[in-house]
């Protein structure tokens, strides 16, 4: 059956989605294999194209053209000279003539007796004279020597007709009649010949004919323009010549279509004169044809035949001129006094508001139950008159919700209650009235009544058979939020939280999450918050709902609201570690360490074996320099949890304090418990390397032990190789890399490290050879391709980067290498674009952020430098071989992200960092400080010093600092500008306004002495 087919179709779609990824993967692999076996022509000739870069100009010019080897000779170019119009006209005139007995002469005159024509009075071909031996010079004598009948053809160019009438350019007929557009004469011919000089071509037009046609079309256009519907000309006095030049001669199809339509419509209005649409169509056809007066006459006849059709009357009013349209509408409302459209049209034609109101009041006398007329009439009145009219309107149209709501809005609180109660009686199925009543109570502060009214609304609507609509109620809640009725919004969500949702828990939770996300997308934060708050009350133990509510409060709420949510969350979900950690972190970020400790202590009581809670407690104490507490917490964690991370943190704590022996002791103990944890082996070896002096041999032995336990750990192989490089044992390093690549095939970092080893050993040729093997092994590795571009000589780097982009189009390492090439070539705009693309593709790549900042320090402005630093701090990068090598040093562990970025740039790009003096704000940012707060504090300190020394009174603006947070515009503040800045939305110090103030002050200081001198002079007088 149908339902079974639907189910099977869904199953097929689901199974197809599951197999799609595998199918697409196999298809991509097959395409790659095919490309490898049969490369494209472009790939085959790629190396030859690159070699063209070395071709000199002389060699390029020496390449022969392809046609030089062809046997076919080139055709010589043919020159065409345009023929004058006079010759074309003459040829056209003769092409359509027939001689009386044979060939036609070029001028249209036939030679009698079948003789040959003599063009332009020349002798006949072959030197023969005409029959009877007589010449025919331009006069074309007859065989017997007599001239042609009726006086002959002695006109220049053969232009005179047999009656002697002049035909300029062949335009007049023998009877003197005009033949425009080159048409033939109406059946009149000369004896034995057509009208000379008149072109009789089939379907052709001469240039002169086209000119006359343009004049005809222009005349039609001007006639149409003369009379329009509004009585005003639509001619553009400035552009009519341009329009004339752009005018094209149209075919006769439009005219014939209009004639056909006119005939059909005439038949319609004749056969059925009571059919209103026929009259309207006929009048509009005449309007389109440019005959507005005819259209008016037709629609006037239509009004006589169809006096009860409002469309005909409206069309008649539209076609009439403005001064006559009112009279037409007046006749219309007399014939149809109950037509709302006619009354509205009559009111719209009035200019004066009072006149409009009179018309609408008159209309309401005839049609008192028209909601549209009441709306129009009320909108023209003041508040007092509007309330009187609305009181009458609800009596005439008691089922109009808008009338009741408008009346309630204009009434006092008590009167509005009565109005809404009456509205509920007349319209018991409208939820809008209930919502309005709730809003009314909220305006009076009766919050309890709001929820009570909406609860009654649900019951009343259900009793009256109204189907509950969840989307409609949520829409009402969003509208209440936008108009500022927050309590009404929350009450609507609360009473309708289970309306229209699935009964099972999973479906219910999914529906609520979808509704809340949709509300956030529509910027209805209160609706989303209300949905989550009511959802967690129904599903108290659902961690996902609590997390989403906490995330919402983090983005849009206050710290107090977030604390409240997290406190409730950990009460109902005590075993959710992440909720405890979020609650403790919020307290810690606000500096309340005691509360954070209390929360974590409470979390211990619920989850004693939780690794995350133990480590969070350790981090809290270590960040506050409580080292002894951290040691005790870690000792307890090792006993209760005994996880690799806990042992690693114990080692790292001692390592940070410089206690290497204790750290190594803990490391050995931890490795006994977890011998296959590679990070512990890496940390132990690095501790040996960090000693002073470094114990590199012991470190190498430690790494070797670790590789026996963790042969699949690529970072551990890298650490071991780095230890050998520091000992200058390049042969041992190569051997380790070979072993590592055998154990970990496809490890791109091991191949990269091998290339670096060869470069450090000075074997550049071996480095290139190894890079080629690496690219064959890992053809899509962005790190290797970026290194390959770097290894190429300068002239070949661009070509190599093209190959890299083809293989790894969206790899951040390749993008950075291309950006560096643009940076090198001083193409700053392109370099900035590619740097930005790299950090967008992989915002966690620290190498990209460091290169980006180095570029901006050399070529960017202070604003661009600040943006790079701010984005890097937000991204918190933790990837990149060079980045991790510098950032993961022990002194940098507790540094802020901006400080880490500064140290990376200092070491990696020292030239760019020291090239120019840093901007003060950029320097403060790189030190991990808030530049605006630091500058504001400095300004306040300076102002305080001035106030103490008595140098001046502290300015009111200085006390505000450099930034004042504000969620919305609160009016202009002197010396500040409202904008979105680095510290968020609010008021920032505006240097331009301060400059203007200084200038005004100087001007006043200059003006004051002059004013005082004038006052002294006036006193003396």
501-530 pLDDT, tens digit each = 888 888 888 999 999 999 999 999 999 999
CA 583 to CA 431: how far, in whole Å?
Answer: 41
Q: 938 pLDDT exceeds 80?
A: no
Q: 20 pLDDT exceeds 60?
A: yes
CA 392 to CA 403: how far, in whole Å?
Answer: 10
Q: 300 pLDDT exceeds 60?
A: yes
What integer best gives the mean pLDDT of the chain?
A: 78
CA 285 to CA 282: how far, in whole Å?
Answer: 5
**Structure-model confidence comparison of residues 715 and 89, the more confident one:** 715
Q: Which residues, in sequence order, are bridge partners of residue 166?
A: 160
Q: Which residues, in sequence order, are bridge partners of residue 964?
A: 987
Q: 456 pLDDT exceeds 60?
A: yes
CA 267 to CA 341: how far, in whole Å?
Answer: 30
If you average pLDDT over residues 594-615, what whole number do you get?
Answer: 86
Q: What's the angle, vertex CA 296, arms to CA 366 and CA 260, rounded to 5? A: 125
Q: 873 pLDDT exceeds 50?
A: yes
User: Which pLDDT value is given to residue 175?
Assistant: 39
User: Which pLDDT value is given to residue 961?
Assistant: 55
User: Which pLDDT value is given to residue 721?
Assistant: 94
If you average pLDDT over residues 351-362, what whole number do you get?
Answer: 88
User: Which pLDDT value is given to residue 210?
Assistant: 67
Q: 833 pLDDT exceeds 90?
A: yes
Q: 540 pLDDT exceeds 70?
A: yes
Q: Per-residue b/e over 948-973, b at no fewer than 16 CB within 10 Å?
A: eeeeeeeeebbebbbbeeeeeeeeee
User: Which pLDDT value is given to residue 606?
Assistant: 83
Residue 312 dihedral angles phi and psi, to the nearest 5° = -65, -45
If you average pLDDT over residues 566-580, what whole number do you get?
Answer: 88
Q: 1011 pLDDT exceeds 50?
A: no
Q: 345 pLDDT exceeds 70?
A: yes
Q: Out of 107-116, 387-396, 748-757, 900-909, pick the least confident.
A: 107-116
Q: Over pLDDT 90: what percentage of the chain?
A: 29
Q: 550 pLDDT exceeds 60?
A: yes
Q: Which residues, in sequence order, are bridge partners of residue 965?
A: 986
CA 156 to CA 158: how far, in whole Å?
Answer: 5
Band of residue 189 on the pLDDT scale cut at 50, 70, 90: very low
Global confidence as pTM: 0.59
Q: Out of 118-132, 508-522, 611-625, 663-677, pick the least confident.
A: 118-132
For 595, counting Cβ atoms within 10 Å of its Cβ (0-12 exposed, 13-18 middle, 19+ buried), the class is middle
If you average pLDDT over residues 351-372, what whole number do you get?
Answer: 88
H or E segment to which residue 989 belongs? strand 984-989
936: tokens are 């504001």
Note the helical H segments in 575-677.
Answer: 577-589, 593-606, 611-623, 627-640, 644-656, 660-673
Which residue shows structure tokens 């790899």?
811
Q: Which residues, in sequence order, are bridge partners of residue 981?
A: 984
Q: Out of 199-208, 358-367, 467-476, 480-489, pick the least confident.
A: 199-208
Q: H/E/C letters for each residue in 482-551?
A: HCCCHHHHHHHHHHCCCCCCCCCHHHHHHHHHHHHHHHHHCCCHHHHHHHHHHHHHHCCCCHHHHHHHHH
680-720 pLDDT, tens digit each = 999 999 999 998 888 999 999 999 999 999 999 999 999 99
In 222-370, the DSSP E strands lie at none
502: tokens are 């699935």
Band of residue 925 on the pLDDT scale cut at 50, 70, 90: confident
Q: 840 pLDDT exceeds 90?
A: yes
Do 209 and 99 touch, CB atoms closer than 8 A? no
Q: 18 pLDDT exceeds 60?
A: yes
Band of residue 971 on the pLDDT scale cut at 50, 70, 90: low
736-756 pLDDT, tens digit each = 999 999 999 989 999 999 999
Q: What is the dihedral angle through the alpha carbons of 625, 629, 630, 631, rounded to the nearest 10 degrees?
A: 120
CA 403 to CA 383: how far, in whole Å?
Answer: 14
User: Which pLDDT value is given to residue 1016?
Assistant: 47
Band of residue 141 on the pLDDT scale cut at 50, 70, 90: very low
If you average pLDDT over residues 473-480, what whole number do you get?
Answer: 92
Which residue shows structure tokens 């091991």?
750
148-184 pLDDT, tens digit each = 333 343 434 334 433 334 434 434 343 334 434 334 4
User: Which pLDDT value is given to residue 976?
Assistant: 77
Q: 76 pLDDT exceeds 80?
A: no
Distance from the first to the final alpha carbon of the chain: 115
Band of residue 313 on the pLDDT scale cut at 50, 70, 90: very high
Q: 977 pLDDT exceeds 90?
A: no
CA 648 to CA 233: how far, in whole Å?
Answer: 90
Residues making up the chain, counted from first to last = 1021
Q: Over pLDDT 70: what percentage of the chain?
A: 74
Provide the 3-class DSSP secondary structure of residue 190. Answer: strand
713: tokens are 């750990």
Q: Give, as one character, the DSSP assignment of residue 434.
A: H
- Give whole-number Cα distances, 85 to 207, 282, 318, 924, in Å: 7, 44, 50, 83
If you average pLDDT over residues 979-1005, what whole number do you get?
Answer: 57
- Give whole-number Cα distances, 334 to 66, 259, 347, 349, in Å: 89, 36, 15, 17
User: Which pLDDT value is given to residue 71?
Assistant: 52
If you average pLDDT over residues 279-288, what whole number do you get?
Answer: 89
User: Which pLDDT value is given to residue 932?
Assistant: 62
Band of residue 991 on the pLDDT scale cut at 50, 70, 90: low
If you average pLDDT over residues 395-400, what whole number do you get?
Answer: 88
């Amino acid at each position: 059956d149908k339902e079974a087919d639907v189910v099977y179709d869904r199953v097929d779609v689901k199974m197809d989605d599951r197999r799609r990824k595998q199918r697409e993967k196999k298809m991509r692999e097959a395409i790659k294999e095919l490309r490898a076996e049969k490369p494209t022509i472009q790939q085959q000739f790629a190396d030859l194209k690159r070699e063209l870069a070395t071709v000199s100009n002389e060699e390029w010019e020496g390449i022969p053209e392809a046609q030089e080897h062809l046997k076919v000779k080139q055709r010589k170019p043919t020159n065409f000279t345009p023929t004058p119009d006079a010759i074309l006209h003459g040829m056209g005139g003769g092409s359509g003539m027939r001689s009386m007995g044979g060939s036609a002469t070029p001028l249209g005159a036939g030679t009698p007796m079948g003789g040959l024509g003599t063009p332009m009075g020349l002798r006949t071909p072959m030197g023969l004279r005409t029959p009877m031996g007589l010449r025919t010079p331009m006069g074309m004598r007859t065989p017997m020597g007599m001239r042609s009948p009726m006086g002959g053809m002695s006109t220049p160019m053969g232009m005179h007709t047999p009656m002697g009438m002049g035909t300029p350019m062949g335009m007049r007929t023998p009877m003197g009649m005009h033949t425009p557009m080159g048409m033939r004469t109406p059946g009149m011919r000369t004896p034995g010949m057509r009208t000379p000089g008149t072109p009789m071509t089939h379907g052709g037009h001469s240039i002169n004919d086209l000119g006359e046609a343009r004049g005809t079309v222009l005349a039609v256009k001007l006639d149409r323009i003369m009379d329009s519907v509004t009585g005003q000309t639509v001619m553009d006095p400035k552009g009519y010549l341009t329009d004339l030049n752009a005018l094209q001669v149209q075919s006769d199809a439009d005219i014939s279509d209009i004639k056909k339509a006119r005939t059909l419509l005439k038949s319609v209005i004749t056969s059925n004169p009571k059919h209103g649409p026929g009259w309207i169509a006929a009048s509009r056809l005449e309007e389109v044809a440019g005959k507005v007066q005819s259209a008016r006459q037709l629609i006037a006849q239509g009004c006589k035949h169809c006096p009860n059709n409002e469309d005909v009357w409206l069309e008649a009013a539209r076609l009439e001129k403005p001064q006559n349209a009112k009279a037409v509408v007046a006749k219309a409302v007399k014939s149809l006094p109950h037509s709302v459209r006619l009354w509205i049209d009559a009111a719209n034609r009035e200019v004066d508001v009072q006149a409009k109101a009179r018309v609408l009041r008159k209309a309401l006398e005839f049609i008192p139950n028209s909601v549209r007329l009441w709306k129009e009439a009320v909108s023209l009145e003041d508040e007092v008159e509007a309330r009187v009219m609305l009181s009458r309107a609800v009596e005439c149209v008691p089922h109009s919700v808008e009338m009741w709501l408008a009346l309630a809005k204009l009434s006092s609180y008590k009167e509005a209650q009565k109005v809404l109660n009456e509205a509920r009686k007349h319209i018991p199925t409208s939820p809008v009235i209930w919502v309005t009543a709730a809003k009314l109570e909220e305006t009076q502060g009766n919050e309890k009544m709001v929820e009570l009214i909406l609860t009654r609304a649900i019951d009343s609507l259900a009793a009256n058979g109204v189907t509950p609509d969840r989307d409609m109620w949520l829409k009402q809640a969003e509208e209440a939020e936008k108009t500022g009725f927050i309590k009404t919004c929350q009450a609507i969500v609360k009473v309708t939280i289970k309306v229209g949702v699935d009964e099972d828990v999973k479906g219910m939770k999914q529906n609520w999450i979808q509704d809340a996300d949709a509300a956030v997308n529509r910027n209805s934060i209160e609706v989303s918050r209300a949905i989550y708050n009511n959802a967690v009350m129904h599903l108290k133990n659902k961690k996902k709902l609590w997390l989403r509510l906490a995330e919402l409060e983090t983005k849009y709420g206050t710290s107090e609201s977030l604390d409240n949510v997290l406190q409730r969350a950990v009460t109902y979900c005590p075993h959710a570690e992440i909720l405890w950690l979020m609650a403790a972190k919020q307290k810690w970020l606000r500096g309340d360490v005691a509360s954070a400790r209390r929360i974590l202590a409470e979390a211990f009581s619920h989850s004693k074996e939780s690794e995350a809670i133990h480590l969070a407690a350790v981090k809290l104490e270590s960040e506050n320099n409580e080292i002894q507490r951290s040691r005790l917490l870690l000792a307890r964690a090792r006993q209760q949890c005994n996880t690799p991370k806990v042992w690693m943190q114990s080692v790292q704590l001692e390592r940070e304090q410089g206690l290497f022996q204790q750290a190594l002791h803990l490391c050995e103990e931890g490795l006994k418990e977890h011998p296959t944890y590679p990070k512990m082996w890496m940390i132990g070896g690095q501790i040996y390397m960090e000693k002073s002096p470094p114990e590199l041999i012991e470190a190498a032995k430690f790494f070797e032990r670790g590789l026996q336990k963790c042969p699949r750990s690529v970072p551990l192989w890298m650490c071991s190789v780095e230890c050998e490089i520091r000992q200058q044992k390049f042969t041992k390093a190569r051997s380790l890399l070979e072993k590592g690549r055998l154990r970990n095939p496809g490890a791109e970092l091991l191949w990269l490290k091998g290339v670096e080893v060869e470069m450090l050993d000075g074997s550049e040729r071996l480095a290139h050879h190894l890079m080629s093997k690496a690219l064959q092994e890992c053809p899509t590795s962005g790190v290797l391709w970026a290194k390959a571009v770097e290894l190429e000589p300068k002239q070949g780097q661009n070509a190599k980067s093209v190959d890299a982009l083809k293989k790894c189009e969206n790899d951040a390492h390749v993008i950075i290498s291309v950006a560096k090439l643009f940076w090198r070539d001083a193409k700053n705009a392109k370099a900035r674009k590619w740097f930005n693309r790299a950090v967008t593709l992989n915002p966690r790549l620290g190498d990209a952020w460091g290169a980006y900042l180095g570029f901006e320090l050399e070529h960017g402005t202070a604003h661009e430098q600040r943006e790079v630093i701010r984005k890097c701090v937000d991204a918190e990068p933790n990837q990149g071989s060079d980045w991790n090598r510098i950032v993961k040093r022990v002194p940098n562990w507790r540094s802020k992200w901006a400080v880490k970025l500064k140290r990376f740039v200092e070491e990696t790009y020292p030239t760019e960092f020291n090239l120019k003096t840093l901007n003060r704000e950029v320097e403060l940012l790189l030190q991990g400080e808030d530049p605006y707060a630091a500058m504001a504090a400095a300004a306040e300190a300076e102002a305080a010093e001035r106030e103490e020394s008595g140098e001046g009174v502290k300015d009111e603006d200085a006390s505000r600092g450099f930034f004042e947070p504000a969620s919305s515009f609160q009016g202009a503040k002197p010396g500040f500008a409202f904008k979105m800045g680095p510290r968020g939305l609010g008021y920032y110090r505006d240097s331009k306004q301060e400059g203007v103030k200084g200038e005004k002050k100087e001007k006043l200081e200059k003006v004051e002495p002059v004013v005082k001198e004038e006052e002294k002079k006036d006193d003396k007088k």
